Amino acid sequence: MAPLARMSVALAVCLVMPVVIGFLWDKPPSSNTHDDIVQLENQWLEAEDKPKALPSILADDFVHVVPAGLITKDEQIRYLTTHRNGKEQGKHFENLRVRMFGNVAIANGIVVASAENGKIQKTLFTDVFAYRNGRWQAVNAQETPLADSPENK
């Protein structure tokens, strides 16, 4: 191949590759990504009582950090399937905040859970989501029980 032909091929590859990579690279949807994460957080909060809904929310490499240690996706689903006691009457978020960083979203807030006996438990959380294969999934979560406040006693 002549040097000019090789240079033309190399130039064509350099011009075309960024376009091809751009189409293959996951980009978050341009509209309402903040709202998408809030909706996913609400689905996840509801799905804790329905562990069969969790596989689509949690990424395969999901890690949950809790006081007892690190929990994988499979361990999380298995635990929730075998240990749900149905005694929580309701759960909701307080101070849910979502920050977007391109293909990553971080949600922080407090989950307020009410038990049948009237006791209220609050848990601080951080959830990390990644946009992969055309959808958002949780890749990491961390929970810390909030110390009892006077209204919880």
Q: What is the pTM of this model?
A: 0.75
Residues whose CB falls within 8 Å of the CB of residue 58, separated by 6 or more in sequence, listed in order: 73, 76, 77, 137, 138
Which range of residues forms the domain containing residue 59?
29-152
* Token pair recorded at residue 129: 């989501």
Given the structure tokens 């971080």, which residue do they identify? 106
Query: Bridge partners of 70?
Result: 65
CA dihedral in degrees (138, 142, 145, 146; nearest 10)?
A: -90
Pairing mode of beta strands 104-115, 69-72: unpaired
Nearest to 44 by CA among 118, 133, 109, 99: 109
Q: What is the pLDDT of residue 2?
A: 60
pLDDT tens per residue across span 12-68: 443 434 433 344 455 655 667 899 999 999 999 988 777 888 999 999 999 999 888
Residue 41 counted as domain residue: yes
Residue 116 counted as domain residue: yes
Cα distances (angstroms) measured from residue 97 to each of 50, 84, 141: 24, 27, 14
Residue 15 counted as domain residue: no
Residue 16 counted as domain residue: no
Q: Are the beta carbons of 93 and 41 closer than 8 angstroms?
A: yes
The domain total for the chain is 1
Residue 144 counted as domain residue: yes
The CATH code of the domain that includes 96 is 3.10.450.50
Residue 74 counted as domain residue: yes
Residue 5 counted as domain residue: no
Query: In what side-by-side order are the strands of the sheet with 58-66?
Result: 69-72, 58-66, 135-145, 120-132, 104-115, 88-101
Residue 95 counted as domain residue: yes
Q: What is the pLDDT of residue 9?
A: 45
Q: What is the pLDDT of residue 27?
A: 62
Q: What is the pLDDT of residue 30?
A: 60
* Token pair recorded at residue 63: 């890690």
pLDDT tens per residue across span 75-130: 989 988 887 655 557 899 999 999 999 999 999 999 999 887 888 999 999 999 99
